[in-house]
Amino acid sequence: MPNADRRLRIHGALIAAVLIGGLSLSAAQQPRPAAATLKATIRMSIAKIDAAPLREGQKPSPFGNFGPLLTQLLTPEGPVDIQYVIAGDQTRADVQGRIATLPKGSIVIQKMGDETIRVANPGNQTWYEIPANQNLGVLLGTPDVTIEPTGEKATIAGQRAERFRFTQQLRIPLPEGTALPQDFPQDLELSGDLWSTDAFAGAGYAGVFKTLQAFAAIPGVEALTAGGRFPLRIALRSSIMPGYEIRSEVTQIGPVTADSGLFDIPRGYQKVQAPVGGGL
């Protein structure tokens, strides 16, 4: 495999994990339907931005072409809305567009503590399982995180939100025996902006941040949401993707009553082998 393709596949797997798990949510364990059930619609996109100017003596990044390539790989048809329903220890995500290798309309179901995550495809009425530990949050562990408030406030999805700036540095996980080009970075630098609210900081939502971390939202998100704050908008930039940023924004959020059947694979769906790479 050419070096550029190999780099793209490796980094694409990381960013896909960020996007798919981007804002996967959960609440504290309780009977279904739960009083703390939430419904949230989150829009995922990759946007072109002005790249930071090079410092004196600094060379252009060898990964400067990853941004447009990843845009085609991960959001080939543009921004994607993902509708989440969170009830107790159950999470369901309805992917309303194409994202990574998931077909439009895919359903991702997770129960906290289960060893697998289920992915259903209504298009052909099939479903498969992937290991729950095949996600960025588990692989990367705890990154070094710095966060600072800006004092800026806004209303997002009807909720009062406060803006924070953050930076992270983490080690890129590699399968045993993987050989990379010499110029491929072993550390990943992330930075960005986080808008969060304390509107959902009650005990009923205390478990949300466990899923945000475990299901690969943004590594270190528990640090980013210290004090129980709930993320409503995130802009994530990477040293390996100059001139582009990953965006996620809650467009609708609020409590609902959820039928427990939402968290089951629909009747009549046939179980199949997971695609290569787990489908994410």
CATH number at residue 39: 2.50.20.10
Count of domains in the chain? Answer: 1
> Is the residue at 279 inside a domain?
no
Does residue 266 have a cis peptide bond before it, meaning omega lies within 30 degrees of 0? no
pLDDT number for residue 140 = 53
Helices (H), the chain: 3-20, 66-74, 136-140, 208-214, 221-224
The answer to the question of residue 277 being in a domain is no
* Percentages (nearest 5) of helix, strand, coil residues in the chain: 20, 35, 45
Within-domain flag for 11: yes
Give, rounded to a whole angstrom, the gap between the first and last alpha carbons of the chain: 20
Please report the pLDDT score of residue 18 as a whole number.
Answer: 43
Residue 99 covered by a domain: yes
Q: Quick check: is 20 in a domain?
A: yes
Domain presence at residue 276: no
Rounded distance between C-alpha atoms, residue 34 and residue 30, angstroms: 6
Query: Residue 278 domain-assigned?
Result: no
Q: How many residues are listed for the chain in this entry? A: 280
Residue 215 confidence (pLDDT): 37
Residuewise pLDDT in 10s, the chain (280 residues):
455 454 444 444 444 444 444 334 333 333 333 445 888 898 988 898 887 777 777 777 666 667 787 788 778 889 999 888 888 778 888 999 888 778 899 998 988 778 888 999 999 999 999 887 665 555 555 567 788 899 999 999 999 999 999 888 776 666 666 666 666 666 777 889 989 888 876 544 544 444 444 433 445 555 566 566 778 898 988 877 888 888 889 999 888 887 888 999 999 999 999 886 544 4
Would you state the pLDDT for residue 17?
42
Q: Is residue 203 part of a domain?
A: yes
Residue 265's DSSP bridge partners are none
**Boundaries of domain holding 46:** 3-257
